[in-house]
Amino acid sequence: MSIELRNVTYKYSTGTAYEMVALDNISLQIPDGQFIGIIGHTGSGKSTLIQHFNGLIRPTSGQVLFDGEDIWGEKYDRRHLRSQVGLVFQYPEHQLFETDVLTDVCFGPKNLGCSEEECKERALEALHQVGLKEKYYHMSPFDLSGGQKRRVAIAGVLAMNPKMLVLDEPTAGLDPKGRDDILDKVKELHETRGISIAIVSHSMEDMAKYVERIIVMNHGHMPFDGTPREVFSHYLELEKIGLAAPQITYIMHALAEHGLAVNTEATTVSEAKESILKALGR
């Protein structure tokens, strides 16, 4: 299940004085099963980009292909596409609406035309996979904590059995443990379901810890696309576009400048620890 963007340009408010290019000739491929992160400052084009992945918005020019097929082709079934590429918006808990958790999660599959039995089966599996305890299934979603609500919202998308899950800032507003819990669950989904994941995030530390590839957006362009190591090695350029590297990157560079033979490419705490122990000869 691959997604490909070919020379995609998207303009808001075309033909008016407010015309703004949100994406400028972007080409990229996301192959099957990748875990990617998308970073960029507010207004850099991240959200516009991900809305192209499941055809929520149509490029002003260029093509979006899903498994090699143009999703804006005449006979293309975009309804099916939207069950294949699940989008979880920012603060998705604001979209919960049913009277109890289980019914809310059933809403997606119900709309796909699944039988009541299958809806329930999928919902139960999805809720189990996001790690929500059974005692909550029949409670009102509005009585849950922020982190729990967010998991219910993610389960609602998972119940559609997507081949790719796109999450727009899934950890915004959560406490540190809540952040780790959500990201650990997403990682587990990536591993157990084998689905591709794309996460939009402002946390460079989380990006370094979880994803295998980072796409950097800036003013509708994509200045960097690579592994966290590659991308964060450009930490000075990242700062110029309103981003940063994880704190670890700065520590390692400072140590190297002071003559300690550490690996400046380390981006996580465990990598840094290993490298420092080695440099100290332990």
Partner 1 sequence: MGIVKTAKLIYDYIRYDENEKEETFRAIDGVDLEVEPGQFIAVLGHNGSGKSTLAKHLNALLVPSEGTVWLDNMDTRDDSHIWDIRQEAGMVFQNPDNQIVASVVEEDVGFGPENLGVETPEIWKRVAKSLEGVGMTAYRKHSPNKLSGGQKQRVAIAGVVAMQPKCIILDEPTAMLDPNGRKEVLKVVHELNREEKVTVILITHYMEEVTDADYVYVMDHGKVVMKGTPREIFSQVETLKAYRLDVPQVTLLAHELKESGVDVPDGVLTTGELVDALCRLN
Residues of this chain that bind partner 1 (CB under 8 A): 40-43, 145-147, 172-178, 202, 204-205, 242-244, 246-248, 250-251, 254-255, 258-260, 269-270, 272-273, 276-277, 279-280, 282
State which residue, 85 or 144, has the beta carbon closest to partner 1.
144
Return the closest-CA partner of residue 224 out of 249, 241, 202: 241
Q: How far is the CB of 128 from partner 1 (least distance, A)?
A: 22
Q: How far is the CB of 247 from partner 1 (least distance, A)?
A: 4
State which residue, 97 or 250, has the beta carbon closest to partner 1.
250
Q: How far is the CB of 70 from partner 1 (least distance, A)?
A: 33
Buried b (16+ CB within 10 A) or exposed e, 59-80: beebebbbeeeebeeeeeeeee
State which residue, 113 or 281, has the beta carbon closest to partner 1.
281
Q: How far is the CB of 256 from partner 1 (least distance, A)?
A: 10
Task: Tell how far CA 150 is from the center of its chain.
Answer: 14
Cα 111 to Cα 154: distance, rounded to the nearest angstrom: 16
State which residue, 33 or 178, has the beta carbon closest to partner 1.
178
Q: Could you tell me if 199 and 87 are in contact, meaning their C-beta atoms sit under 8 angstroms apart?
A: no
State which residue, 165 or 255, has the beta carbon closest to partner 1.
255
Q: How far is the CB of 90 from partner 1 (least distance, A)?
A: 9
Cα 53 to Cα 89: distance, rounded to the nearest angstrom: 13
Query: Which strands, in side-by-side order, build the sheet including 221-226?
Result: 85-88, 164-168, 196-200, 35-39, 213-218, 221-226
State which residue, 16 or 192, has the beta carbon closest to partner 1.
16
Cα 37 to Cα 88: distance, rounded to the nearest angstrom: 14
Q: Could you tell me if 175 and 151 are in contact, meaning their C-beta atoms sit under 8 angstroms apart?
A: no
Q: How far is the CB of 202 from partner 1 (least distance, A)?
A: 5
Residue keyed to tokens 């840094």: 272
